[in-house]
Structure 1
Amino acid sequence: VEHGGELHAGMELTVEPPPVDAPLRAAVMTLSDKGFAGERVDTSGPRAAQLLSEAGYDVEELVLLPDAQKKIERELIRLADSRQVDLIITTGGTGFSLRDVTPEATLAVATRTAPGIAEAIRAESLKITPRAMLSRGASVLRNKTLIVNLPGSTKAVEEGLAVILPQLEHGLRILKGTAHDCARK
């Protein structure tokens, strides 16, 4: 309302509807020496992007890198700080191989941890295979970006996203400051 907040004769008071939250923005990063070298076709990254898109996320980048910690760190920082995506899903590099450094790179760029997400993925995955205990995936926050590590297989990506996608939107909107109150009623 113009003119000091007063209504004048012939003026109508219009109230704008609350803004609809814009779609959340995501990036998917596959970490695979063989995939990066062209020796293996990456199916887990595209599948993660597809599932995120189907869940309403705008997937802005799909990245494929070798298992090299400093390169992974630089890319996570770029996506979080420069691109300012809300969510980064990584696939691969979470096992026991000496080249599997995704959790270390993720923890190195974290400003805060969010361990419950990785714990939930492992807990549900243990119901499917006892080898889930061997996944070292991490989940952290870098400022206003959530980073979640998933194993590199397409099946593990599907299972992991099935666990977390129903809850992620609320947490991400709280992180962005567009939602409040996590308490259950």
Structure 2
Amino acid sequence: MKTTRIGIINVSDRASKGIYEDIPGKAIVETLKEYITSDWESEYAVIPDEQDQLEAKMKEMADEKSCCLIITSGGTGPAKRDVTPEATEAVCDKMMPGFGELMRTESLKYVPTAILSRQTAGIRNNTLIVNLPGKPKAIRQCLDAVFPAIPYCIDLIEGPYIECNEDVIKIFRPK
């Protein structure tokens, strides 16, 4: 059986230059290790807030590395250099706005500035791409909210069957 591949991209000018430690990307990996019981491996990158570089990395992970899921962190705010949603929209065939809506709804329980976030998700061929915020605490809150739908979404786009630890995350697949 083929190992499931998941792309993780931390979008950060400072982390890409080594000024900041890549805490968001590591937070995603640790969370997925808790959630997923199937065999999986990560395809990992830290890149600056440059739309062309982010688009190229997402295309590579989806098209060449066969990642069924790509999770990005950072670059979703209103600042001039925040271009993650634009890059995601540029490489996707279909947008999945419900992911962003749910993440913002969840984040509003904790901070009023969640309305400034532009998280989104989309599908490129057989790959689901989900944009998360850059703060580790918010990453976990958002993943806890949207991950229950992710394995079924991957089923629907003909990706691998992902099994999860039901004691940690209750995923939903219709019977």
Same fold at TM > 0.5? yes
Write the distance in 2 (CA, Å) between the matches of 1:177 and 1:96.
32
Letter in 2 for 1:135: S
Aligned residues: 163
Unaligned 5+ runs, structure 1: 1-20
Unaligned 5+ runs, structure 2: 162-171
Structure with bigger gyration radius? 1
SS at match of 1:176: coil
Write the distance in 2 (CA, Å) between the matches of 1:183 and 1:46.
28
Write the distance in 2 (CA, Å) between the matches of 1:157 and 1:86.
19
Counterpart in the other structure of 1:55? 35
Counterpart in the other structure of 2:146? 164
Write the distance in 1 (CA, Å) between the matches of 2:76 and 2:157.
25
* Cα distance, 1:183 vs structure 2: 8.7
Give the alignment of 1:29-40 within 5 angstroms: 29-40=9-20
Is 1:115–2:97 an aligned residue pair? yes
TM-score (normalised: structure 1): 0.81
Is 1:26–2:23 an aligned residue pair? no
* Cα distance, 1:155 vs structure 2: 0.8
Instruction: Specify which structure has the bigger relative contact order, considering alpha-carbon pairs within 8 angstroms and separated by 6 or more residues.
Output: 2
Write the distance in 1 (CA, Å) between the matches of 2:173 and 2:35.
23
TM-score (normalised: structure 2): 0.86
* Cα distance, 1:97 vs structure 2: 1.1
Letter in 2 for 1:28: I
Write the distance in 1 (CA, Å) between the matches of 2:173 and 2:6.
26
* Cα distance, 1:54 vs structure 2: 2.0
8 Å CA contact 2:119, 2:133 repeated in 1 = yes
8 Å CA contact 1:67, 1:101 repeated in 2 = yes
Letter in 1 for 2:140: E
**Among the aligned pairs, what percent are the same residue?**
38
Task: Choose the corresponding residue for 1:146, options 114, 121, 128.
Answer: 128
CA RMSD of aligned residues (A): 2.0
Letter in 1 for 2:32: L
Is 1:91–2:67 an aligned residue pair? no
- Taking structure 1 as reference, are residues 164 and 49 closer, same or farther at Cα in structure 2, changes over 3 Å only? same
Counterpart in the other structure of 2:61? 79
